[in-house]
Chain A
Amino acid sequence: MLELQGIKKKLGGQAVLRGVNLKVAPAEKVVVIGRSGSGKSVMLRLIMGLLRPEAGAVCFEGTRLTGLNEEAWNPYRRKIGMLFQGSALFDSLSVFDNLAFPLREDGEKSVKVLREKVEEALKIVSLSGTEQVMPAELSGGMKKRAALARAIIRKPDLMLYDEPTTGLDPIVADSINRLILHLGKMFGMASIVVTHDMTSARKVGDRIAYLHEGKIYFEGTPAEVDQCEDPLVRDFVRGHAEGTDVTG
């Protein structure tokens, strides 16, 4: 479904990604882990076409997206949903209008259809009754769920999650993890979850990829990652700072 071929990206003159190769099969849930600043979020932005790579290609459903202009990207963006780290709800719009936004962009004008689809999406994320609430009035977890509802309202083939559980308490984080699993089952959508929360990674991932120094350093099932004896992977998975420059 999705393939990253030797993706290279520099930001501010510094190489962030140095040749990332990754394949995601339909309905597969891949978790990308790595230290802060390792380029995980940059990778998602490249998949979504929000950034352009210096080298390499993003292929989605057999089409090479790299090199397409902004307008040519849009039909593919409609098939890919993205949950942003900070939720990125439009703060001038109510929850209803946020969720209805992608549908209206697709030309849906019927208020009845919009209401039905918004209610359905809010029900999936357990936020029924919040239609008229403004994003500023929602808690962090509720914002994430509302943003998730907006991202899935078009029923995309692929969902990208950028740090979905960061900044949330363990209970809310677990509810988001369950939601990711539930959505995968419900719509059969593939997912790429970027996180450094190992609990989340083990729970939602069919496969875990460890991004280190701009490349996929290790790939395996959650069990294989847990059993991996490579010091870099082991230290990250177990949360050990030994041998790591803690000042850096």
Chain B
Amino acid sequence: MGRVVYLAGKVGAMVTDCCHTSGGVFLLLGDTLRSMFRYRIRWDQLLEQMYFIGIRSQVVVLTTGAFTGAVFAAQVWFQFKRFGMESAIGPTVSIAMCRELGPVLCCLLLAGRVGAAMAAELSSMKITEQVDALRALGVYPVEYLIVPRFLALVISAPILTALALVTGIGCGYFVAVKIFGVDGAYYWDNTIKFTDRKDVMIALIKSFIFGVIIATIACHKGMNCPPGTAGVGRTTTEAVVNASITLLIVNFFLTVLLNALLYSN
């Protein structure tokens, strides 16, 4: 009986903690959106963040996109050649990249690279009283620290995803046509024929929403870092893990929702 009560207590504490954190994340999101319209946009900060998030993440994202497309094309070729369906490799790779692999993998990498950096930087500022110093100087931290990071990520994520799609589909073509000898004309023709504009829209909408998720969770974690250097480490890890898991869960619901909305006719 005692064990059951203990377990129930643990589960209850976890649920309470989860609700408390989720509430905090939503409140921060609301505050960020409000601050975006209430205060002037700090263009210098925004450009700096876009450089860090957008430009500096390109190598990682392009490499991921390229090899995901290449591996996927190879795997599909191994299976499809048994049925003589090599000409369907192009659209399969393209649709899979647009609808799932491109946005999900690109944003998982952004959660790891950018989310971790955001959480670590903000939590370091928090524990060294720099966030308090901002407030003491009459600057609202959400406006100064979070809005530029948030905007930079939600703008950069769809652009980086688009780049990942292009390289993924391009590398898929290279593997299928140049290495496995699939007919290039059929490959492109089928790719263009079966890849809809809506597939690209799904990729961009998903990556935009994933950008919102990563930025909000990472900033919330950073701004609520417990004191001490151990707190910074734990905060950074939790930011990446929470953002990645949330992203994967939300991806399922987005997939269902976007398919229902875009392909209902």
Which residues of chain A have a CB within 8 Å of any CB of chain B? 45, 48-50, 70-71, 74-75, 77-78, 80, 82, 84-86, 88-91, 101-102, 105, 150
Contacts and interface: CB of A to CB of B under 8 A. Distances in A.
B260 interface: no
A63 B105 CA distance: 54
Contacts of B137: 77, 101-102, 105, 150
A85 B128 CA distance: 9
B132 interface: yes
B140 interface: yes
Q: Which 10 A-B pairs have the closest CB atoms?
A: A88-B133, A88-B129, A74-B138, A77-B138, A84-B129, A82-B136, A102-B137, A78-B138, A50-B132, A88-B130
Given A77-B137, A88-B133, 9 more contacts: A45-B132, A70-B135, A77-B138, A78-B138, A82-B136, A88-B128, A89-B130, A102-B137, A105-B137
B243 to A, nearest CB: 23
A38 to B, nearest CB: 18
B27 interface: no
A48 B129 CA distance: 13
Contacts, number: 46
B18 interface: no
**Size bin of chain B's contact surface:** 10 to 19
A109 B42 CA distance: 14
13 contacts: A50-B135, A70-B140, A75-B138, A77-B135, A77-B137, A80-B136, A82-B133, A82-B136, A88-B128, A88-B133, A101-B137, A102-B137, A105-B137
B55 interface: no
Contacts of A77: 135-138
Looking at B128, B132, B133, the one whose CB has the most chain A CB atoms below 10 A away is B133
Contacts of A105: 137-139
Contacts of A49: 135
Interface in B123-153: 128-130, 132-133, 135-140
A50 B139 CA distance: 12
A36 to B, nearest CB: 15
A49 B136 CA distance: 8
Contact of B128 (A75, A78, A82, A91): A91
